[in-house]
Amino acid sequence: MKFSNLPLSKEMLHNLNEIGYKEMTPIQAQSLPHILEGKDVIAQAKTGSGKTAAFGIGLLTKLQVKKFRVQSLILCPTRELADQVSKELRMLARTTHNIKILTLCGGTAFGPQLGSLRHGAHIIVGTPGRILKHLKKETLSLENLDMLVLDEADRMLDMGFSEEINEVLGFAPKTRQTLLFSATYTDEIMDISSSIQKDAVNIKTTSNEIANKISEYFYEVEYGQKLKTLVNIFSNFKPENVIVFCNTKVEANEIANTLQDKKIDALAIHGDLEQYERNDVLVQFANKSCRVLVATDVAARGLDIKELSMVVNYDIPHGDETYTHRIGRTGRAGAEGLAFTLYEANEIQNADEYKNDTRLFEDANELKEIIGFEMRPVNVTLVIEGGKKDKVRAGDILGALTGDAGLAGSSIGKIDIYDRQSYVAIENSKIDEAHKQLKNGKIKGKKFSVWIL
Ligand code: ADP
Ligand code: MG
């Protein structure tokens, strides 16, 4: 569909043509008519699908240039993303004179931002922590705001920004248009949408609409060959992250240890762990500091891991319900999931009972053995001995890591903040740099002990 089908100004259409945007991308075609009508929209679309222009064209069309007040606010998870959004908005706005767009992010000096704010702006793009700081100091007012955008909302929640977002919203007028963009839909995202949006139009682009697609494999394994088969499954199918379910604590520890010996990054979780140990393991698995989680059923209950690429039943589960529940964790958000079930001949009375149209029964001996296969974690977790009770927030940690020639926001993963501790996932190759930066620096003007998990 062409942009000219939309009620856009001549200048905007001309500019889009100049930029080389000839046709709308699917997310633009589906969301822009609603956005231009003033409706709240929640939209899911992959990275690179053109979300920035979708909300950008919407907010620029709505903007009253003559009214020199902050009318639009865009919240982004990192400084890099905020810079990208500002750049795209400037390009879209270049034919309208005198539109002022200001970027406000943590990890950069506060002083110069005050100066820029004093000169005024129409549009603010920034990270929740820094925006909140300006709101509290009353150096920024949202009194005239009529468009609020949460860009990459899932990433913001992952980074621990939900509290800051809620506080920022407290400063915004109730009557406004709110747009929410997210690559994935989770319960948390739907909760946020229902608490901050009104009658939101729900948009998913078709490429993401493919329902949970799970490929189910069953392998009959010779006696004592399960571990070997497990490693072969990993090396042949190369999953990002896996949960291996087994029946006992002893087995869970044994499998995890053997995998570690084989340079496959694994941790065990079972009922014998202390609460804090359990937490350390779950945090590392969820933030990509651990690739394989070996779990007993009890321990895995209530575990909500998004985007799991593989589930392995190391033992055949008792009952169909357990089976369905276990494998349902994989293949989320349109990605294809893989489910494997291993059994020895003596563990199963009649394999036919498990057969149906969708399940593939294979011979474990046909899996190739791949020499030198390793599974290394993407991230490493830093623990900070400070949390909510110490008033430590995601924005403070992000600022301490990225400020003053620090790390790029893209090297920082999930941030989890608990009462007395915080966990930050750091890209593997950047861990020493990050550790040093936090150890020598301060968070909120205070020193905290920091260690690598
Ligand atoms: P997202 O935020 O969904 O990840 P972006 O908004 O960053 O994606 O857009 C990705 C790229 O696509 C950018 O380079 C942008 O300039 C380009 N783009 C956006 N809309 C169009 C369009 N209608 N036609 C051609 N290119 C587009
Ligand atoms: Mg984007």
Distance 193 CA to ligand 2 centre (A): 18
Q: How many percent of the chain have pLDDT more than 90?
A: 70
The pLDDT-based confidence of 209 (bands split at 50, 70, 90) is very low
Query: How remote is the C-alpha of 159 from its chain's centroid?
Result: 8
| Of 261 and 80, the one with more pLDDT | 261
State pTM to two decimals.
Answer: 0.64
- 31's enclosing H/E stretch is helix 26-36
For 119-253, where are the E strands, in sequence order?
123-126, 147-150, 177-182, 201-204, 213-221, 242-246
The residue ranges of every structural domain in the chain are 3-204, 213-366, 379-452
59 alpha carbon – ligand 1 mean position (Å) = 16
Q: Is the CB of 24 under 6 A from ligand 1?
A: yes
Tell whether ligand 1 has an atom less than 6 A from the beta carbon of residue 25: yes
**pLDDT for res 3:** 96
- The closest-lying atom of ligand 1 relative to the alpha carbon of residue 84 is 7
pLDDT at 399 over 80: yes
Ligand 1: residue of 25, 44, 55 to mutate (most ligand atoms within 8 A of CB) is: 25
Note the pLDDT of residue 210.
Answer: 41
Model pLDDT, residue 251: 93
The architecture (CATH level 2) of 3-204 comes to: 3-Layer(aba) Sandwich (3.40)
pLDDT higher than threshold 80 for residue 212: no
The pLDDT confidence band at residue 304, using thresholds 50, 70 and 90, is low
Choices 3.40.50.300, 3.50.50.60, 3.40.190.10, 1.20.1050.10: CATH for 213-366: 3.40.50.300
How many angstroms separate the CA atoms of 49 and 29, rounded?
11
Q: From the CA of 27, which ligand is nearest?
A: 1
* pLDDT of 206: 56
**CA nearest ligand 1 atom 10, residue:** 48
b/e burial code for range 66-105 (CB count within 10 A of at least 16 → b): eeeebbbbbbbbbbebbeebbebbeebbebeeebebbbbb
Cβ of residue 79 lying under 6 Å from some atom of ligand 1:
no
* Confidence at residue 88, expressed as pLDDT on a 0 to 100 scale: 95
Tell me the β-bridge partners of 382: 424, 452
Q: Quick one: CA dihedral 43, 47, 52, 57, positive or negative?
A: negative
pLDDT in tens, 218-231: 999 999 999 999 99
Q: What is the mean pLDDT of residues 353-374?
A: 89
Q: How confident is the model at residue 208 (pLDDT cuts 50, 70, 90)?
A: very low
Position 319 scores a pLDDT of 76
Supply the residue whose CA is at minimum distance from atom 25 of ligand 1. 21
What string of H, E and C letters represents the secondary structure of 326-341? HHCCECCCCCEEEEEE
What's the mean per-residue pLDDT of the chain?
Answer: 90
Lowest mean pLDDT among 98-102, 290-294, 306-310: 306-310
Answer yes or no: is pLDDT of 184 > 80. Answer: no
Q: How confident is the model at residue 334 (pLDDT cuts 50, 70, 90)?
A: low
379-452 folds as Alpha-Beta Plaits (3.30.70)
**pLDDT tens profile 273-287:** 887 888 899 999 999
Protein residues with C-beta less than 5 angstroms from the ion ligand 2: 51
In this prediction, residues 309-315 reach a mean pLDDT of: 94
Q: Is 155 in the pocket of ligand 1 (CB under 6 A)?
A: no
Amino acid letter for position 156: M
pLDDT tens digits, 115-173: 999 999 999 999 999 999 999 999 999 999 999 999 999 889 988 899 999 999 999 99
- What is the reported pLDDT for 452? 95
Instruction: Tell me, using a 6 A CB cutoff, whether residue 52 lines ligand 1.
Output: yes
Q: Is 51 in the pocket of ligand 1 (CB under 6 A)?
A: yes
C-beta 50 within 6 A of ligand 1:
yes
Percent of the chain with pLDDT over 70: 96
Residue nearest to atom 18 of ligand 1 (CA): 50
Residue 32 Cβ contacting ligand 1 at under 6 Å: no
Helices 128-136 and 394-402, axial angle in degrees (round to 10): 110
pLDDT tens-digit series, residues 5-50: 999 999 999 999 999 998 999 999 999 999 999 999 999 887 778 9
Ligand 2 centroid to 144 CA: how many Å? Answer: 25
Domains 3-204 and 379-452 share a fold: no
CA of 51 to the centre of ligand 1 (A): 7
Per-residue confidence (pLDDT) for residue 428, from 0 to 100: 94
Instruction: Please indicate whether residue 264 or residue 248 has the higher confidence score (pLDDT).
Output: 264
Residue 227 has what pLDDT?
95
Taking CA atoms only, the protein residue closest to ligand 1 atom 12 is 50
Distance in Å, CA 414 to ligand 1 centroid: 25
**pLDDT per residue over 401-429, tens digit each?**
988 768 998 999 999 999 899 999 999 99
